[in-house]
Amino acid sequence: MRQSRLFTKTSKNVPHDADSVNAKYLTQGGFVHQEMAGVYSWLPLGLRVLRKIETIIREELDKLGAQEILMSALQPKESWEKTGRWDTVDVLFKVPSQTGKEYALGPTHEEIVTPLVKSFVQSYKDLPVAVYQIQSKFRDELRAKSGVLRGREFGMKDLYSFHLTQEDLEAYYRKVLETYLTIFTRCGLEAKVVEASGGAFTKKFSHEFQVLTPAGEDKVLTSEHGSFAQNCEIATLKEGDKNPENGEPLFCSTGVEVGNIFDLSSKFAEAFDLAVTDENGERRTVVMGCYGVGTTRLVGTIVEASHDDKGIIWPIAVSPYHVHLVSLRSKDEETQSRINAVSQEIYEGLWAEGVEVLWDDRDASPGEKFADADLIGLPLRLVVSEKTLKEDSIEWKPRNESEATLIDTEDIIEKVKGMME
RNA sequence: CGGGCUAUGGCGCAGUUGGUAGCGCGCUUCGUUCGGGACGAAGAGGCCGUGGGUUCGAGUCCCACUAGCCCGACCA
């Protein structure tokens, strides 16, 4: 992508209402645009990050044998009345029709997926089954905040699994838990598995995946090394107590919940009478699990977890592009055309090797280009200038390092390929 | 949903006791610069959130509404 053609621009001005690092940098860098409180449009750079996260999630869930579907966002009121959630879920957006009917705008999809699966699953032989989707969710939050971390419209991956037995459900639940940790690691995040309340989903405890950062809104009781962690809303221990696992002291930190998994047991299956015939010819109610990952929230969380005072530092796996190729201006016409030619060659050469390059070919000053490169935060910056050409080289500077080095121009593509592995 | 703050060119802001709106960024043109957001000159761009009211006169004072943000509650 040639940056001169990118329709978004960076801004030197900090948005007046940016309340968090992610809102500030994502807006200034032109990744997202706020439309209303808690509602954002995703722009080319931001959308590329979101798509990469979604791809990671798809790859990992497909390995689990889950099948991707896309359910309706507009949902029938009757289904929500059937589960008793039409009047109890206060974040539910209720949409009136001109016909006088009302619909729900999906905050989650148990009310859709359960009857959906029922229409295909009648025998124990049809189980287990797991389906997922990546879709916009709508929740009428009284107070949206923290940029992309808590919105009224947001991207979410929701997975639902259906099992004949509680044991089978629990085994799958543990597999999803492991898969989620893989997903977050691949996104460059360190997530803690945290015991939490089941909320209105289930009376049982559930597990949350928390990324510890000051921007979070959850309080989590955790120890430095152990895997033990509890959401403070359910914690039986308190700060300063010893970790039952390894005796380490527990401390309270704030975290962002990037995922949550629930053992729903037969709650929704009962509401919709989702049952199968078992091998003895008897009807048995199915048990369910549901598992969510906030995709748009992940984008914001990564920014919160990985930035400095100049901008974002994208982990390469989710970076909108891998390389920021920066061509500097020269007043000398011949030098300028050499800079252009070398840049073009590297640009095309890298793309030919599958390396995604954002090429800053704009007619802008060096300072402006460097500042923008830091703000946008691609993992590697390559500079082509009069100075580097004199050495037949390209300047190499990783975003998370302060020192730049010169690399021979002819070696540059191989070296970048090496970094990608 | 309670409490508070804010609303002025695309963005960030100033605007005195009420007298007819200004700065920075960005944008256009020209020239000079060129390795960390360069400089000069000349331009374009505003019913001051909306609706009422007070006044000879309202960006400014009063009321209502709307929107954004903050604190809290809430967060299936």
Rounded mean pLDDT of A373-384?
98
DSSP 8-state symbol, A145: B
- Note the pTM of the prediction, 2 decimals: 0.96
**pLDDT given at position A230:** 86
**pLDDT given at position A68:** 98
* pLDDT higher at A70 or A229: A70
**Is the CB of A13 within 7 Å of strand B?**
yes
A166: left (phi > 0), else alpha (psi -120 to 50), else beta?
Answer: alpha
Residue A34, nucleotide of least CA–C1' distance: B68
Confidence of residue A269 (pLDDT cuts 50, 70, 90): very high
Residues 301-320 in A having a C-beta less than 7 A from any atom of strand B are 310
Residue A146, nucleotide of least CA–C1' distance: B69
In angstroms, the CA of A356 and the C1' of B36 are apart by: 25
Residue A201 clears pLDDT 70, i.e. is over it = no
Q: What is the pLDDT of residues A16-66, one digit of tens each?
A: 877 789 999 999 999 999 999 999 999 999 999 999 999 999 999 999 999
- Rounded CA gap, A371 and A203, in Å? 51
Query: What is the number of residues in chain A?
Result: 421
A178: left (phi > 0), else alpha (psi -120 to 50), else beta?
Answer: alpha
> CB–CB of A127/A286 below 8 Å?
yes
Q: Which positions ≥6 away from A281 have C-beta within 8 Å?
A: none
**Is the CB of A322 within 7 Å of strand B?**
no
Q: What is the pLDDT of residues A331-366, one digit of tens each?
A: 999 999 999 999 999 999 999 999 999 999 999 999
In angstroms, the CA of A5 and the C1' of B37 are apart by: 20
- Rounded CA gap, A173 and A261, in Å? 8
**Is the CB of A150 within 7 Å of strand B?**
yes
Residue A326, nucleotide of least CA–C1' distance: B35
**Is the CB of A328 within 7 Å of strand B?**
yes
Residue A107, nucleotide of least CA–C1' distance: B76
In angstroms, the CA of A53 and the C1' of B44 are apart by: 43
In angstroms, the CA of A253 and the C1' of B27 are apart by: 46
DSSP string of A45-83? HHHHHHHHHHHHHHHHHHHTT-EE----SEEEHHHHHHT
Residue A9, nucleotide of least CA–C1' distance: B26
Residue A200 clears pLDDT 70, i.e. is over it = no
Q: Which helix (H) or strand (E) is A118 found in, with range?
A: helix A110-118
**Is the CB of A399 within 7 Å of strand B?**
no
As ranges, strand B nucleotides with an atom below 7 A of a protein CB are 1-2, 10-13, 24-26, 33-38, 67-76
**pLDDT given at position A203:** 58
Mean pLDDT of chain A: 94
The interface pTM score, or ipTM, of the predicted complex is 0.94
Q: Which positions ≥6 away from A78 have C-beta within 8 Å?
A: none
Minimum-distance residue to B11 (CA–C1')? A13
> CB–CB of A385/A327 below 8 Å?
yes
Select from A273, A269, A229 the least CA-distant residue to A251: A229
In angstroms, the CA of A167 and the C1' of B47 are apart by: 69
